[in-house]
Amino acid sequence: MIDRYVRQYEALAANGGGRAPDWLKSLRRAAIDGFRETGFPSGRDEEWRFTSVAPIVRTDFGPAAGGGAVVAADLQPFLFGHDEWPRMVFVDGRYRADLSSPAAAAGLQVSTLAEALAADPKGLETEFGRHVVPDATPFTALNTALAPDGVVIRAARGTVFAQPIHLLFVASREAEGAAFHPRVLVLVEREARIQLVESYVSLGDRARYLTNTVCEIAMGEGSWVEHSRIQRESEGGYHIGFTQVSQARDSHYRSFSLAMGGAIVRHNLHTRLNAPNTEALLYGLYLGRGDQLIDNHTTIFHDQPNCRSWEVYKGILDDRSHGVFNGKIFVKPEAQKTDAKQTNRALLLSDAAKIDTKPQLEIFADDVKCTHGATVGNLDLLSGFYLRSRGIPDAVARRVLTYAFAAEVLDEISAVPVRSALDRLVRDRLGVGS
Amino acid sequence: MSESVETLVNREYKWGFVTDIEADTLPPGLNEDVIRAISAKKQEPAFLLEWRLKAYRGWLKMTEPHWPNVQYPSIDYQKIVYYSAPRTQKPLGSLDEVDPKIRETYDKLGIPLTEQKILSGVAVDAVFDSVSVGTTYKKHLAEMGIIFCSFSEAVREHPELVQKYLGTVVPGSDNFFAALNSAVFSDGSFVYVPKGVRCPMDLSTYFRINAQNTGQFERTLIIADEGASVSYLEGCTAPRRDENQLHAAVVELVALEGATIKYSTVQNWYAGDEDGKGGIYNFVTKRGKCAGPRAKISWTQVETGSAITWKYPSVILQGDDSVGEFYSVAVVNGRQQADTGTKMVHLGRNTRSTIVSKGISAGAGQNSYRGLVKVMPRADGARNYTQCDSMLIGNRCGAHTFPYIDVQNRTAAVEHEASTSKIGEDQIFYLKQRGLNTENAISMIVNGFCKEVFRELPMEFAVEAQKLLGISLEGSVG
């Protein structure tokens, strides 16, 4: 199973990879060597204890076929009604220039990884693969070794770009049996501000494929990033993602993560507060149904004093779905005056749904305020009674309360078009009219 | 396997060891013959020897767990002495026959073996290096049908009860240290409270570690039959030692329908010097089973001692409407490490559990809370409330929380709250302004922080616990 990926790497190294600069080649080699050593994670691995990736390991995923049949009209449902947003579209792992409209603004560069490397082979050496630990997980290593292309966004010092930049990763109707390894690198220089929307969508109904993505975001001093990650893969597909944020002084990172697709889903979101007075706000919503397994792992590294982090993740699990949440907060001895709050709440809607949640605090500094809370439960009976006493039927009351539970996090998306689009999406899923 | 080679090599020990009159001790090392020797010395029935051997064979196949958040040099299990009995071995007619030296040590520790026991109303089963030397109040309890004796005595007098319940909560194959204990346990306490009987007094036992290099492998089994109730206190102190000592005890509690067991511990074993040298390794398996409906098991612990503490008093909530509780204060100072918490496994309907854990870290101590709340699919209406608070004093220490919440029933309601804080300068200022000095102010704040747990302790323990806390944190502030 491991050999299969090693062979893919060798094929890539032999042709397309040949154009990569030497530093990237050695990064890829180190990554595949690391992967060859560790192999896929098993249930004995604490980080993967509740999430079995056995079906992914068993499947013989081939490289992406191409998905040429996708046309602009296919993408309309995923554009939030804003065709004019700068957009980078990848279909089955391949960049599609004909469907994309990269931003053309002073101070903002949005390009494919291949273009960025061709323009300046040395330019990315100090950034690419330097924020995420290349072998943070075996899947990260695999992405580093196999990512044929990706996106590079660079916002120059002081650039403020008002429109969201949309990265759209599409699995076509021919995606069945393929594996994609898209890679994203976002460099936000000092005092620049951007909004990023990262979507994973599928045109097929229950196609089985693997998306294995890595996103690195490097934030300069006083920079500001709002990042919405919307995962709507096919319910037969597998999605493994790793997002690593690295924050300089006075920077502000705000993330919203919606996970509603995929048969087996794992997203790691790690942010490192590298300098004093940085702030990270992480919001998440996951909706499981059928036999979905949705796993969110977040880690916040409080490395420096006077930083704040605020995290709220909510899950709604129906049918036989299984939710996993692991939220870690590490506070280093020097990170005094840290203020960290983490909340995870899950709602189980059916008898067979289950949740494993593990909020984890590791604190080495004394003058800190750190709290976490986790609740698992059913809908509030009193609220249900109140609604029924007002003449609202029980079934409707339940849906309304479920939606209200989700809306608390949806409200935190500050980009209005994204918020209203996702609000509609969640309403549809939960059966609540507008 | 190399183990079997070792067994062959070690054959010479079989029955042939020198019986030192001063400290009837087996030579260090572990093999099947040592286990046979322990069993023979204690004149155990065949079923128990078989049970020990089975656990030992299982243990050989296990590896020492390293997942707890603690660091220590590896333990050489062949260097440990697995059996050591005090000099007096004959059955004792009265307490006067107890070695005066031993009595003196007990007196220093304030164990009421003499007149005090009557005043304090505590029946004491003192365990001194593996063999019980005195059991008091037995007669009074016996009149009510309560059996409170050493484990060896229970094996001799009530083998049917031992055979029925031993290993039903913590099987011999449960984990590495429990398996080791099952193979070599020397003695411990046994309590049986018959149907409908309320034990009129708190039962108490003091475990101590004395002879050098003697691992202590205590085994405690407490059974509360239908409708019975009992409160059991366990307190520990140990003299100063330079070499690390392993303590791998097992405590099993069985509460049948409508029964209540309250188990309280104050643990203050030697924690090692400032550099972390010496000190006890306290690797304990404690578990209770609410076997019938409406049973209740409550654990209260104050952990201030030991170089390393590794223990998770747990409750299996099998009976419908059963209740599990865990109240804990864990203090680490110097280079102490504690990885402690609880497991609440909800199997029955409408089962409830409460977890209150207070961790205090000072010096270079590392304190971890590790807990599991598991609600199984059939546990309709299960309810859990968990609160785990940490307090840090100084920035060389650490507080860690690893709570696992695993819910498989939608009617369950599980709440977990955790916070970390320091002693506020404003609080100290306020108390100083009211005339308290810094030390007393801190003591008051810390005691306030732990109040929810202390009030669960029986009175004399609560007093002791508060004092211990003060002593443990001495010199950590200012």
Looking at residue B213, its pLDDT comes to: 41
**pLDDT of B322:** 97
Indicate yes or no: CB of A374 within 8 angstroms of CB of B405.
yes
Query: Which one has a higher pLDDT value, B39 or A211?
Result: A211
- Of the partner residues A355, A358, A366, the one whose CB lies closest to the CB of residue B394: A366
Q: What is the DSSP string of B379-396?
A: -TT-EEEEEEEEEE-SSS
Q: Do A371 and B420 touch (CB under 8 A)?
A: yes
Total structural domains within chain B: 1
- Given an 8 Å threshold on Cβ–Cβ distance, is B407 in contact with A350? no
Q: Which residue of A has its CA nearest to B378?
A: A351
Mean pLDDT over the full length of chain A: 91
CB contact under 8 A, A373 and B390: no
Give the CA dihedral A9, A10, A16, A17, nearest 10 degrees: 70
Cβ of A374 within 8 Å of Cβ of B403? The answer is yes
Contact B401 A355 (CB under 8 A): no
CA distances, B168 to each of B82, B224, B253, B286, B318 (Å): 24, 14, 9, 13, 13
In this complex, do B418 and A356 lie within 8 Å of one another by their Cβ atoms? Answer: no
**Partners of A330 in the β-ladder:** A301, A362
Residue A368 lies in a domain: no
Residues of B in contact with A357 (CB under 8 A): 404-407
B440 at the A interface (CB within 8 A)? no
Does A241 fall in a domain?
yes
Q: What is the pLDDT of residue A20?
A: 84
Long-range CB pairs of B430-438, under 8 A, 24+ apart, other chains included: B438/B477, B438/B478
**Residues of chain B positioned with their CB less than 8 A from the CB of A333:** 395-396
**B116 near A CB under 8 A:** no
Rg for chain A, CA atoms, rounded: 21
Chain B residues inside the 8 Å CB shell of A370: 419-420
Element containing residue A163 per DSSP (H, E)? strand A160-171
Distances (CA, A) of A359 to A21, A345, B102, B337, B417: 41, 11, 48, 21, 10
The alpha carbon of residue B167 is apart from the nearest alpha carbon of chain A, in Å, by 26
- Pairwise CB contact (< 8 Å): B405 & A356: yes
* A410 assigned to some structural domain: yes
Residue B133 in this model has a pLDDT that exceeds 50: no
What's the structural domain count of chain A?
Answer: 2
pLDDT > 90? residue B71: no
* Single-letter residue type at A86: P
The answer to the question of residue A59 being in a domain is yes
From A275, A299, A318, give the residue that closes a domain.
A275
Structural domain includes residue A294? no
Cβ-defined contact of A366 to B412 (cutoff 8 Å): no
**Helix, strand or coil for residue B241?**
coil
Mean pLDDT, range B93-105, rounded to an integer? 54
Residue B24, in any domain of the structure: no
Minimal-distance CA residue of chain B relative to A359:
B403
Taking the C-alpha atoms of residue A282 and residue A372, their distance in angstroms, rounded to an integer, is 14
Angle between helices A2-14 and A22-38 (to 10 degrees): 170
pTM value is 0.84
* Domain range enclosing B355: 93-423
B451 in a structural domain: no
User: Tokens for B14?
Assistant: 């079989």
From A246, A275, A304, give the residue that closes a domain. A275
- pLDDT range class, residue B73, cuts 50, 70, 90: confident
* Closest residue by Cα to residue B331 from B362, B291, B360, B373: B360
Query: How far apart are alpha carbons B353 and B414 in whole angstroms?
Result: 9
Contact B364, B333 (CB under 8 A): no
- Name the residue of chain B whose CA is nearest to A49's CA: B404
φ, ψ dihedrals at B459, nearest 5°:
-55, -50
DSSP secondary structure letters along A207-257: ---EEEEEEEEEE-TT-EEEEEEEEE--TT-EEEEEEEEEE-TT-EEEEEE
Residue of A nearest to B406 (CA): A356
- DSSP string of B327-393? EEEEEE-TT-EEEE--EEEE-STT-EEEEEEEEEE-TT-EEEEEEEEEE-TT-TT-EEEEEEEEEE-
A321 in any annotated domain: no
- Tell me which residue of B189, B202, B198, B187 sits closest to B123, measured CA to CA: B202
Q: pLDDT digit string (tens) for B265-318?
A: 888 777 777 676 777 888 899 999 999 999 999 999 988 878 888 899 999 999
Smallest Cβ distance to B410: which of A349, A369, A372? Answer: A349
Assess if residue B51 is contained within a domain.
no
The SS3 of residue A278 is coil
β-bridge mates for residue B375, sequence order: B346, B407
- Per-residue confidence (pLDDT) for residue B438, from 0 to 100: 84
CA distances from A79 to A87, A100, A214 (A): 9, 12, 22
Residue B155 lies in a domain: yes
Cα R_g (chain B), whole angstroms? 22
Q: In angstroms, how far apart are the furthest CA atoms of chain A?
A: 70
pLDDT of residue A7: 87
Residue B310 falls inside a structural domain: yes
Q: pLDDT band at A60, cuts 50/70/90? A: confident
* Residue B313 to residue B252: CA distance in whole angstroms: 10
Specify the pLDDT at position A191.
96
In sequence order, what are the residues at sequence separation of 6 or more whose Cβ sits closer than 8 angstroms to the Cβ of residue A94? A64, A66, A67, A148, A149
Query: Would the CB atoms of B415 and A375 count as touching at under 8 Å?
Result: yes
Q: Would you put residue A384 in left (φ > 0), alpha (ψ -120 to 50) or beta? A: alpha
pLDDT band at B202 (very low <50, low <70, confident <90, very high): confident
In this predicted structure, the answer to whether residue A318 has a pLDDT above a threshold of 50 is yes
Domain that holds residue A179: 2-275
pLDDT value at B1 more than 60: no
Which spans in A110-216 are helix H? Answer: 113-119, 138-146
Of chain A, the end-to-end C-alpha distance in Å amounts to 48
A243 in the same domain as A390: no
Q: Tokens 């998770």, residue? A: B312
* Partners of residue B402 in chain A, C-beta under 8 Å: 358, 360
A14-23, A56-65, B466-475: least confident range: B466-475
Q: Is residue A302 part of a domain?
A: no
B405 touches A at CB < 8 Å: yes
Taking only the tens place, the pLDDT of each residue in B8-62 is 333 332 332 333 334 467 778 888 888 888 888 888 888 999 999 999 999 989 8
> Do the domain assignments include residue B129?
yes
Q: Answer whether A372 sits within 8 Å of B411, measured CB to CB.
A: no
Name the domain boundary from A255, A275, A295. A275
What is the DSSP annotation of A391-418?
T--HHHHHHHHHHHHHHHHHTT--SHHH
**Closest chain A C-alpha to B420 CA, distance in angstroms:** 5
Q: How far apart are CA B171 and CA B154, in angstroms?
A: 19
Beta carbons of B401 and A360 less than 8 Å apart? yes
* Residue in the structure block whose two tokens are 């072998």: A135
For residue B15, is it left (φ>0), alpha (ψ between -120 and 50) or beta? left
In-domain check, residue A364: no
| pLDDT tens digits along B220-264 | 999 999 999 999 988 755 444 545 578 888 999 999 999 999 999
Interface ipTM > 0.85: no
* Within a domain: B174: yes
**B420 closest CB neighbour out of A46, A349, A361:** A361
